[in-house]
């Protein structure tokens, strides 16, 4: 094999039988998991914006070369940013980034040759029209984030590598955290956007996993054999959230410390997390599972008392013995707070393990802890303090803070610490909300309630309640704002349209149906996918395609199936696959499920199987079909090395199970499976349904009672 394009000096020696031996210059010392070789017949383009010493290139299929300009701009920009930030130059003579057509991981930080899914690397400005209209501001943000994350690994993970996988959080947590900083550097035209994204995508998503009884600590046992289990939300998202909190505590000393690590440890491989010099309070955050909830209680109108406990969802006598670490775990908690008299000033106090704090307050003044959501903790206010806090809701509480307060309210209700009325009363404030992040946090909670009430006799009252909220928020002119270059306006408009149409707001669905008809007409003769012919706004395509397929016209399904199998742009193929997943015909749904095993259609490749199951999980009819399909064919997914997608399919198929009969049906299926390893694939599904049963028995009636009363009010 003769190298066509390589930067490393090499020599070639002709051998017998027309073979050629190629010798490359020795690389820098690296861990074996970082080594990659790519043999592709792809063109590349080189950046001329990087420094003279570094050769920076993007590789992809010939037909997609017009989508590499953004990556070619973002890559060198963020690489130079990190070199300056860490005061340590990138040590290699070249950096290649390769878009792989069928790639299981989202991306992989191979040193000097970073590999990506096409959807993780390619982007084209919608302003250019044509094919570019299938890209949105969210796609631009996602590509920038993934590039920044992977190039951060060139320092965190590649230059400085953990001694063993139990410390992988140092790689992934730091790459996620500084990756957000790098993304903000790339997208300077969108100030404050990354902070909003971090609160929702990192902190709130991590908390949702970390509050489960069996949640693992960030730093795992080194005896664990299944290394893939290390790569989860706890490692990435909680790791990044804890590092962000540490940076707020240490300020500039944080960056001084990182530079010291670079200088002392690199270029030798081996960064033992136990040597990383962090304050004593970090020990509990890294080595113990879970996180705290801080209780704020008024005392005599002149003080509040702060105390802490571990926040655990659905801890019962049945599962108490399976809790990953001590229920009475305590933390060193930094708490930033503000009040009605110092709205723009954030003060800091510490809540130490096994102690309380008394803070003097003004009785008629609101105060809020966890300013800017700096701490990885939930806040539980007593009723009097909560009511005062609401007085500053619109004017003095930031949108990221409102988002976290909504998340806290839903999750405190989930464990019975507050009534669901607290969360649902916040939902009633949403029509006045013009930022997408509080809406996103609210619909995480609302969608869970919808799942739990789907088969409840009073479930339709809840559906009508959410419809009423969305009717008050939806305006037809939101469709015109989806394609603007203003990130916040575009994402907010897209979110309202998505939810309004999804919850059957008539005025929204009417527009979506018309746009789908226009789409079918525009793409009727297309033989190369829909990216060239669709005029639907990018952020609304999934919802429009879904709404159209829900109209139950088989010819429309066949048209989308044809377009999906001929589409070359990954993000548009996912849009089409989402639309197909909304079908309510059992035979057509089975065709999709069978295709996930056959893997012989371009629409559903190996990398797309898990995505398909997530999409189908939003469809009540598909969930039933999936459940039957999974029970009869689960072993085939294992044989085809599709264990992770199988886990996803199981979780999605049973996510609304919440009766004793449904739990018994699931347990019976699992008990009949041979082999403990195979049974373990379904453990999380069983635990989820147990929690669902507990929720329905405990909270369903109170939610129905609240929404019935709310519907009676004008």
**pLDDT above 70 for 116:** yes
CA distance linking residue 392 with residue 395, whole number of Å: 6
Residue 274 pLDDT more than 60?
no
Per residue in 306-326, is it b (16+ CB within 10 Å) or e — as a string?
bbbebbbbbbeeebeeebbee
Higher pLDDT, 281 or 204: 204
State yes or no: pLDDT of 329 exceeds 50. Answer: yes
Instruction: Determine phi and psi for 369, rounding to 5 degrees.
Output: -95, 165
In whole angstroms, give the CA distance from residue 509 to residue 515: 10
The closest of 640, 661, 645 to 609, measured between CA atoms, is: 645
Q: Which stretches of 362-477 are DSSP H helices?
A: 383-390, 399-414, 420-427, 436-453, 459-473
The answer to whether residue 268 scores a pLDDT higher than 50 is no
Cβ atoms of 280 and 286 closer than 8 Å = no
| 584 carries an active-site annotation | no
- In this structure, are residues 437 and 397 in contact, taking their beta carbons and an 8 Å threshold? no
Q: Residue 246: which region, alpha, beta or left (left: phi > 0; alpha: psi -120 to 50)?
A: alpha
Please determine, for residue 323, whether its predicted confidence score (pLDDT) is greater than 90. no
540 in Cβ contact with 494 (< 8 Å): yes
Q: How many Å is the maximal CA-CA distance in the chain?
A: 93
Q: So what's the pLDDT on residue 495?
A: 98
**Could you give the CA distance from residue 467 to residue 464 in angstroms, rounded to a whole number?**
5
Lowest mean pLDDT among 17-26, 129-138, 480-489, 563-572: 17-26
Structure tokens at 173: 């947590």
Strands (E), 311-422: 333-339, 347-351, 357-360, 367-369, 378-381
- Conformation bin of residue 264: beta by default, left when phi > 0, alpha when psi is -120 to 50: alpha
For the chain, the straight-line distance linking the first and the last C-alpha, in angstroms and rounded, comes to: 75
Half-sphere exposure in the Cβ direction for 636 (13 Å, CA): 12
Tokens of 143: 């590509």
Query: How far is Cα 28 from Cα 358, in angstroms, rounded to an integer?
Result: 55
- The string of pLDDT tens digits covering residues 229-263 is 777 889 999 999 999 999 999 888 888 888 877 77
The C-alpha atoms of residue 95 and residue 90 are separated, in whole angstroms, by 9
Report the alpha-carbon distance of residue 226 to residue 240 in Å, rounded. Answer: 22
* Catalytic pick among 109, 118, 150, 498: 150
Q: Does the pTM exceed 0.75?
A: yes
Q: pLDDT of 45-95, one tens digit each?
A: 998 666 667 889 999 999 999 999 999 999 999 999 999 999 888 888 899
Percent of the chain with pLDDT over 90: 72
| pLDDT higher than threshold 50 for residue 276 | no
Identify how many contiguous H helices and E strands the chain contains and give both numbers.
Answer: 28, 14
Q: Can you tell me the mean pLDDT for 288-316?
A: 91
Average pLDDT over residues 479-497: 95
Write down the domain spans for the chain. 1-154
CA distance 608 to 616: 12
- Give, as one character, the DSSP assignment of residue 108: E
Q: Please tell me whether the peptide bond between 267 and the residue prior to it is cis, using omega within 30 degrees of 0.
A: yes
Residues in the chain: 714
**What is the residue-averaged pLDDT of the chain?**
91
Helices (H), 188-336: 193-198, 205-210, 233, 239-250, 252-265, 282-287
The encoded tokens of residue 163 equal 């001694």
Dihedral sign for Cα atoms in the order 4, 8, 11, 14: negative
Q: Do the strands 357-360 and 107-108 form a parallel or antiparallel pair, or are they unpaired?
A: unpaired
Please report how many Cα atoms fall inside a 13 Å half-sphere around the Cα of residue 567, on the Cβ side. Answer: 29
CA 137 – CA 435 distance, rounded (Å): 15
Q: Rounded CA gap, 550 and 557, in Å?
A: 10
Q: Is 186 within 8 Å of 287 (Cβ atoms)? A: no
Pairing assessment for the beta strands 357-360 and 303-310 based on DSSP bridges = antiparallel
What is the 8-class DSSP label of residue 81?
A: H
CATH code at 1-154: 1.10.390.10
Question: What would the pLDDT profile of 170-182 be if each residue is shown by its tens digit?
Answer: 889 999 999 999 9
User: Percent of the chain scored above 70 by pLDDT?
Assistant: 93
Question: pLDDT by residue (tens digit) across 343-359?
Answer: 877 899 999 999 999 99
What are the backbone angles phi and psi of residue 636, rounded to the nearest 5°? -70, -35
pLDDT at 105: 86
User: In three state form, how does the secondary structure of 455-522 look?
Assistant: CCCCHHHHHHHHHHHHHHHCCCCHHHHCCCCCHHHHHHHHHHHHHHHHCCCHHHHHHHHHHHHHHHHH
**The dihedral formed by the CA atoms of 169, 172, 173 and 176, expressed in degrees to the nearest 10:** -170
What are the tens digits of pLDDT across the range 169-228?
A: 888 999 999 999 999 999 999 988 999 999 999 999 999 999 998 899 998 876 655 666
pLDDT in tens, 643-672: 999 999 999 999 999 999 999 999 999 999
Spatial contact of 623 and 655, defined as CB atoms under 8 Å apart: yes
Average pLDDT in the 19-24 region? 83
- DSSP letter for each residue of 256-291: HHHHHHHHHHTTSS-B-GGGS---TTHHHHHHS-S-
Residue 316 pLDDT greater than 80, yes or no: no
Each residue of 376-426: pLDDT tens digit?
A: 999 999 999 999 999 999 889 999 999 999 999 999 999 999 999 999 999
The whole-angstrom separation of Cα 159 and Cα 268 is 8
- Which class for 277: exposed (0-12), middle (13-18), buried (19 or more C-beta within 10 A)? exposed
- The whole-angstrom separation of Cα 331 and Cα 326 is 12
Query: Where residue 30 falls among pLDDT bands split at 50, 70, 90?
Result: confident
Query: Parallel, antiparallel, or unpaired for β 367-369 and 107-108?
Result: unpaired
Is 172 annotated to bind a ligand? Reply is yes
Question: CA-CA-CA-CA torsion for 426, 430, 435, 438, nearest 10 degrees?
Answer: 30
- Of the candidates 272, 239, 271, the one whose C-alpha atom is nearest the C-alpha of residue 172 is 239
Rounded Cα distance, 260 and 255, in Å? 9
Q: Is 212 annotated as a binding residue?
A: no
Tell whether 153 is in a known binding site.
Answer: yes
DSSP state of 235: I
**Averaged over 531-553, what is the pLDDT?**
96
């Amino acid at each position: 094999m003769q190298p066509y394009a390589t930067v490393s000096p090499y020599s070639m020696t002709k051998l017998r039988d027309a073979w050629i031996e190629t010798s490359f210059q020795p690389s820098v010392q690296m861990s074996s998991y970082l080594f990659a070789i790519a043999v592709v017949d792809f063109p590349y383009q080189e950046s001329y914006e990087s420094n003279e010493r570094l050769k920076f290139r993007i590789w992809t299929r010939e037909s997609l070369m017009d989508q590499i300009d953004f990556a070619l701009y973002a890559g060198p920009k963020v690489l130079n940013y990190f070199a300056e930030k860490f005061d340590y130059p990138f040590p290699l003579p070249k950096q290649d980034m390769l878009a792989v057509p069928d790639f299981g991981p989202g991306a992989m930080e191979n040193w000097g040759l970073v590999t990506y899914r096409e959807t993780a690397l390619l982007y084209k400005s919608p302003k250019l029209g044509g094919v570019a209209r299938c890209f949105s501001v969210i796609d631009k943000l996602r590509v920038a984030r993934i590039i920044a994350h992977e190039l951060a690994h060139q320092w965190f993970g590649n230059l400085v590598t953990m001694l063993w996988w139990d410390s992988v959080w140092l790689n992934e947590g730091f790459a996620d955290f500084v990756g957000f900083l790098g993304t903000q550097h790339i997208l300077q035209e969108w100030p404050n956007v990354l902070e909003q994204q971090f609160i929702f995508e990192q902190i709130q998503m991590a908390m949702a996993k970390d509050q489960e009884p069996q949640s693992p600590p960030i730093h795992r046992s080194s005896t664990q054999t299944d290394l893939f289990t290390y790569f989860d939300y706890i490692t990435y998202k909680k790791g990044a959230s804890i590092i962000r909190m540490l940076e707020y505590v240490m300020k500039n000393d944080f960056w001084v410390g990182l530079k010291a690590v670079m200088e002392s440890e690199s270029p030798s491989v081996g960064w033992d997390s136990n040597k990383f010099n962090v304050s004593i309070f970090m020990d509990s955050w890294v080595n113990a599972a879970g996180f705290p909830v801080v209780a704020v209680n008024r005392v005599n109108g002149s003080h509040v008392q702060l105390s802490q406990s571990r926040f655990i969802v659905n801890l019962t006598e049945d599962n108490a013995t399976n809790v990953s670490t001590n229920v009475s775990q305590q933390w060193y908690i930094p708490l930033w707070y503000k009040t009605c008299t110092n709205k723009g000033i954030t003060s800091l106090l510490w809540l130490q393990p096994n102690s309380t704090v008394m803070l003097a307050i003004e009785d008629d003044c609101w105060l809020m802890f966890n300013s800017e959501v700096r701490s990885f903790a939930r806040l539980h206010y007593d009723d009097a303090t909560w009511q005062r806090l609401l007085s500053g809701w619109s004017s003095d509480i930031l949108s990221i803070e409102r988002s976290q307060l909504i998340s806290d309210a839903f999750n405190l209700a989930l464990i019975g610490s507050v009534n669901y009325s607290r969360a649902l009363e916040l939902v009633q404030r949403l029509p006045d909300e013009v930022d997408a992040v509080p809406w996103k946090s609210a619909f995480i909670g609302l969608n869970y309630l919808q799942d739990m009430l789907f088969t409840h006799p009073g479930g339709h009252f809840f559906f009508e309640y959410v419809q009423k909220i969305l009717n008050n928020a939806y305006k037809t002119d939101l469709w015109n704002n989806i394609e603007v270059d203003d990130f916040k306006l575009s994402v907010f408009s897209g979110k309202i349209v998505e939810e309004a149409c999804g919850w059957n707001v008539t005025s929204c669905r009417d527009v979506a149906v018309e746009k789908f008809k226009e789409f079918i007409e525009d793409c009727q003769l297309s033989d190369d996918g829909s990216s060239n012919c669709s005029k639907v706004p990018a952020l609304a395509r999934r919802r429009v395609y879904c709404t159209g397929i829900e109209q139950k016209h088989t010819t429309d399904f066949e048209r989308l199936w044809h377009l999906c199998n001929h589409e070359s742009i990954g993000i548009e193929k996912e849009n089409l696959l989402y639309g197909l997943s909304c079908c309510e015909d059992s035979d057509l749904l089975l065709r999709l499920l069978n295709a996930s095993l056959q893997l012989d259609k371009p629409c559903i490749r190996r990398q797309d199987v898990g995505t398909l199951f997530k999409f189908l999980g939003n469809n009540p009819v598909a969930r039933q079909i999936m459940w039957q399909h999974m029970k009869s064919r689960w072993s085939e997914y294992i044989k085809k090395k599709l264990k992770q997608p199988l886990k996803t399919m199981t979780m999605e198929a049973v996510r609304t199970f919440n009766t004793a009969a449904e739990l018994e049906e699931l347990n019976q299926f699992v008990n009949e499976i041979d082999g403990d390893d195979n049974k373990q694939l379904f453990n999380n599904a069983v635990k989820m349904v147990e929690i669902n049963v507990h929720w329905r028995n405990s909270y369903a009636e109170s939610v129905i009672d609240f929404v019935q009363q709310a519907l009676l009010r004008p």
